[in-house]
Chains A and B, each alone.
Chain A
Amino acid sequence: AQKITQTQPGMFVQEKEAVTLDCTYDTSDPSYGLFWYKQPSSGEMIFLIYQGSYDQQNATEGRYSLNFQKARKSANLVISASQLGDSAMYFCAMRGSNNAGNMLTFGGGTRLMVKP
């Protein structure tokens, strides 16, 4: 079984500052992928960034980067230079190589609010 934990129900950040959203995971799969999604108030789920368990470098996509610490089983999302449009729910998720269907398992989410 795999599990994703996001311990921050809500976060505030000042516009133009950086923010880190925490994510820890648990899995027995030897290979797995970690994903972050953004969900604005309109409801759609937007894929942001991916990190593979064997990737040597932390993933980056524009203002998003993933602080991957495999030994600690953490995959924190860092958003640099926050913008008002970053206000949304953020979900950490993972897929393992051995679970049936390799389904995507989600954490409970963190609501980020960017202050002007």
Chain B
Amino acid sequence: DAGVTQSPTHLIKTRGQQVTLRCSPKSGHDTVSWYQQALGQGPQFIFQYYEEEERQRGNFPDRFSGHQFPNYSSELNVNALLLGDSALYLCASSSSAGNQPQHFGDGTRLSIL
């Protein structure tokens, strides 16, 4: 049973560029959330997708956008990259059926030069 998978594992970009990160949820999960984890910090909630729509959003600018596909996989897009966007980006999935906590992937480490 595959868990949450994310790609790529590591990415290097320069300021001003755009990036797309991908996530496949755990089998049986239909809800995907994205988090940003800066070095030495806990994950910060970016947004959550359910039924292909953004359901909740944290305190992130609209440079951060996302998408969920009919197969429940998801993408995180970040435009106009800043040095401060360097972080580990984590995807978490959960099931809308019943109250269960989220399961995380191993993340994509994004480095901005």
A and B part of one assembly: no
What residues make up the interface of A, taking CB atoms closer than 8 Å to B?
Answer: none
What residues make up the interface of B, taking CB atoms closer than 8 Å to A?
Answer: none
